[in-house]
Amino acid sequence: MASRLQVCAGGLLIGGGAPVSVQSMTTTPTKDAAATRAQIRELATAGAALVRVSVPDEESARALPEIIENTPVPLAADIHFQADLALLSLDAGIHKLRLNPGNIRRRKDVRRIAERAAELNVPIRVGVNSGSIPGDVREKYGSGVDGLWAAAERHLGLLGETGFTRIVVSIKASDPMLTVSANLKAASLCDHPLHLGVTEAGPPSTAGVRSAVAMALLLSRGVGDTIRVSSSGSPLVEPPLGLEILSSLGLLRRARVVSCPTCARARLDVAALAEEVSLALRTCETPITVAVMGCEVNGPGEAREADIALIGTPTGILLWLRGKAAGEVAPEQALQTLMREIARFSAPGGNCERERS
């Protein structure tokens, strides 16, 4: 596997050994700067390290300066077909472009974009989707691995002619295993950083699973430098799913809620508590483990490994702290108790820092 080059998008390093970052994309009309700014802030809070906005027309491009001003995370502009929109985005101060040179009609326009992007140190992502392989490529190579890579090669060739090097490559298919094969091929044939994603992955339940399958098989082999889980509907679900994938692979340390599936043995409303706790921990960067366990079969075992745990038992609900029993809790106080202990662990200078330092 070739080692990856590194690019920098508004301070965010991608590739070359930088931590794998999580991206998302707005669904607001970009020309509505206020709505787009608000969604970017929400996505950043949810864990996105870079947010992409679609720039389908001049009105959207004209809104970019206002959107970019004071943005909490770097922004990428998604451009199709129109060179002018890329140039306007660059002039507005965009941090990254997603643009396929093969879709820009005139080579001199590709050169203008590349030169301006190079001057501004703005990377360009060349992104091939299974849904947008050019017709002639599809006819010659099909719409599998070979077609996807041939499409990427065409765009990379056009950009390469200009001498531009700050390139990120993405090859996304709606079939997770095709996404895996295509990215393994890309990783073996080029040394640009790779942006991973499964395209058109459906609503959150299927998007999370399809993306996790493809990304696990790639990231576990060291392939992939930045990821996006694409989900239909609100994009706010995307960053948590991406973070969960990285955390599951051991690529990210963060707060984790473990909770049992609940069964006939459960003596505690595990699901409701687990959901509340997960929500509360979304903004917690302290890598604490909170266990919510319905009964005494697996409860003490998980509690022993957790920082904070609640376990249902025949005689009541037990609180465990740092692997040791710490008293009983009235059922109606369960959530409140968990929240109090989490706050104590997470507070700056609180228990967590003191105990762990």
Residue 237 touching its own copies (CB under 8 A): yes
**Which of 217, 317, 321, 338 touches its own copies by CB under 8 A?**
217
The nearer residue to its own copies, 122 or 133, going by C-beta atoms, is 133
Does 147 engage in binding with its own copies (CB under 8 A)? no
Q: What is the residue-wise DSSP string for 286-332?
A: S--EEEEESSTTTHHHHHHHSSEEEEEETTEEEEEETTEEEEEE-GG
Chain centre to alpha carbon of residue 131:
21
208 binds its own copies (CB under 8 A): yes
25 binds its own copies (CB under 8 A): yes
CA distance readout (Å), 4 to 107, 167, 288, 303: 27, 11, 32, 41
For its own copies, the binding residues in 308-347 under the rule CB under 8 A are none
For the CB of residue 27, give the shortest distance to its own copies in the complex, in Å.
Answer: 5
209 binds its own copies (CB under 8 A): yes
For its own copies, the binding residue among 104, 171, 241, 319 (CB under 8 A) is 241
Residue 121 CB: number of other CB atoms within 10 A?
A: 12
Specify the residue, 263 or 330, whose C-beta has the smaller distance to its own copies: 263
Q: Kindly write out the interface string for residues 159-198 of this chain, putting x where it contacts its own copies by CB under 8 A and - elsewhere.
A: ---------------xxxx---------------------
Strands 6-9 and 12-15: antiparallel
CA distances to 231, 236, 252, 287, 322 from 302, in Å: 32, 30, 21, 16, 11
**Binding span for its own copies by CB under 8 A among 4-12, 83-91, 105-113, 295-303:** 295-303
Residue 275 touching its own copies (CB under 8 A): yes
Structure tokens at 282: 């979304």
The answer to whether 77 touches 97, Cβ cutoff 8 Å, is yes
Q: What is the C-alpha to C-alpha distance for residues 129 and 164, in angstroms, rounded to an integer?
A: 22
Which range in 43-51, 158-166, 266-274, 324-332 contacts its own copies by CB under 8 A? 266-274
Residue 29 engages its own copies in binding (rule: CB under 8 A):
yes
Q: Please tell me the distance from the alpha carbon of residue 280 to that of residue 345, in angstroms, as a whole number.
A: 13
Judged by beta carbon, residue 217 or residue 318, the one nearer its own copies is: 217
